[in-house]
Amino acid sequence: MIGFTGPYSDVNFGDYAMLVNNVYTLDAQDTTIFVYDRPFVETIRDDYFDGRKVQIVDVRLRTGAFAEGRDARYLTPMEILRAIENIDEVTAAVDGMDTLYINGGGYFNSLWSQPHRLQRLVQIIAPALVAATRNVPVVFTANGFGPFRGDTEFFASIFGSLPGARFAARDAILSPHWLNQAGVASERVQTLPDDLLFIDERLTPGREPRADRYVVMETYLSTEFIADNFSHFERFTKRMADDHGLKVVFVPFNLGHGGVDQGQLLAERLSSVEMFDITERGYLPIEDAVALVRGAELVISSRYHAVILALSVGTPFVSVLKDVLGDKQYYYGKNVGALEGVLEGERHDLRDYFFMDYVEGLNAIVDDFDGITRRQRHSHSAAFPRTAGTLRAAREDYLKGAN
């Protein structure tokens, strides 16, 4: 029996989709999943894990734990364990495992140690700290690490308390550096593709392709940003329609301000924008996300996992690097790192893929749609048949070798 801990309790496409894909890749039939939001993970279990034995275990914090905006810089693993209200239940669940996987994502960084996310980070970390003391192997799937801004001691104490853990980084640009800064030796770190680059075929049943031609749009920039820059969105959709015969399909990767609000605003005000509605299901289904990206002429997105889906199926993309912690290091490391892994050894121009501002990205597509898509398709088709075999084998050998 294997276990998982990670941020998949959030209704954020990349996080829960990685969990589902990892369960399928490992062909896990008996799994324990640690959570901080049981109802949503129960929905994912019911929709994707039929026929598998899945136990869901809440990790509950004691009332008032870290509620006063605790500074995480010097928070120790012992304080984390004592903050878990049901630590005996968590320990009993860990004791029955052969391996505990720390699911992929980008949450070992200073954004998640901020007061508004610290409690969830603590709930994710606690099962791994327990596993290390119970001689249960701890294995990181392909995670992003850093940046650490003034709280390196906190992360160093976490990683130092997992002496036998295996570390996998999903980029070779910055994650190895930050792990090294936090005391993890380079020889303990393996670079792997993101947990969603190779999606199990059982999760992507055939979908009838759309009859129309379209580009996929995604953003979780504020609705205020869209309203203030509406003329640029209007120009973009009109030029896509007039010059290329393309509709815009807005695909939210999360509910509310995470995408649905933005999609509804655009669809209400622009007739050539259609929003793919995820509100009835409550999340973006994996099979729909893959089908929509595969059928698109291009993807423009703020999110990392839209880039990963595009890379997985060979659809050109424009990625807008958002600020995190006041700069673009976080998104640069993971987005550019993903592309470099896929295109290794093939000539390419980063200016075809990455932009610093969403309006800048829209304007670039309008001005050079044919050139951007042509150059990207050429680079991907020249590289991916070669790199995919190496990347897939590395992922499967690492995951299955740990179990």
Q: Is 100 helix (H, G, I), strand (E, B) or coil?
A: strand
Which domains does the chain show, CATH number per domain? Answer: 2-192 (3.40.50), 209-384 (3.40.50.2000)
Percent of the chain with pLDDT over 70: 99
pLDDT at 402 over 80: no
Amino acid at 268: E
Task: Give the pair of three-digit tokens for residue 312.
Answer: 């997985």
pLDDT at 153 over 70: yes
When pLDDT is cut at 50, 70 and 90, the band that residue 68 belongs to is low
User: Bridge-partner residues for 274, per DSSP?
Assistant: 249
219: nearest Cα among 318, 326, 314: 318
pLDDT at 70 over 90: no
pLDDT at 73 over 90: no
E-strand spans in 238-359?
A: 247-250, 273-275, 299-301, 317-320, 354-355
How far apart are the C-alpha atoms of 4 and 19, rounded to whole Å? 8
Geometric angle at alpha carbon 159, from 58 and 161, rounded to 5°? 75
- Residue 69 is predicted with a pLDDT of 66
When pLDDT is cut at 50, 70 and 90, the band that residue 72 belongs to is confident
Phi-psi region of 380 (alpha: psi -120 to 50; beta: other; left: phi over 0): alpha
What is the pLDDT averaged over residues 91-104? 97
Amino acid at 279: T
pLDDT digits (tens, 9 = 90+) for 14-58: 999 999 999 999 999 999 999 999 999 999 999 999 999 999 999
Tell me the pTM: 0.96
Q: Where are the alpha helices (DSSP H) in 86-229?
A: 87-95, 115-133, 152-160, 175-181, 223-228
How far apart are the C-alpha atoms of 74 and 117, rounded to whole Å? 16
How far apart are the C-alpha atoms of 93 and 321, rounded to whole Å? 39
For residue 396, what is the enclosing H or E element?
A: helix 358-402
Task: Give the pair of three-digit tokens for residue 141.
Answer: 């799937």
Cβ–Cβ under 8 Å, residues 72 and 154: yes
What is the pLDDT averaged over residues 184-209? 94
Other CB atoms closer than 10 Å to residue 323's CB: what's the count?
11
Residues in contact with 295: Cβ distance below 8 Å, sequence separation at least 6, in sequence order? 209, 210, 214
Phi and psi, residue 109, nearest 5°? -160, 175
When pLDDT is cut at 50, 70 and 90, the band that residue 71 belongs to is confident
When pLDDT is cut at 50, 70 and 90, the band that residue 209 belongs to is confident
13: nearest Cα among 52, 54, 44, 55: 44
- Residue 27 is predicted with a pLDDT of 95
The structure tokens 């029955």 sit at: 96
Mean pLDDT of the chain: 96
Task: Give the pair of three-digit tokens for residue 46.
Answer: 């019911």
- Residue 399 is predicted with a pLDDT of 93
Task: Give the pair of three-digit tokens for residue 244.
Answer: 């290329």
Task: Give the pair of three-digit tokens for residue 299.
Answer: 């993807």
Geometric angle at alpha carbon 315, from 313 and 317, rounded to 5°? 130
- Residue 403 is predicted with a pLDDT of 59
Residues in contact with 299: Cβ distance below 8 Å, sequence separation at least 6, in sequence order? 215, 216, 217, 218, 293, 306, 307, 309, 310, 315, 316, 317, 318
- Residue 64 is predicted with a pLDDT of 84
- Residue 104 is predicted with a pLDDT of 97
C-alpha distance across the termini of the chain, in Å: 9
Q: Is 297 helix (H, G, I), strand (E, B) or coil?
A: coil
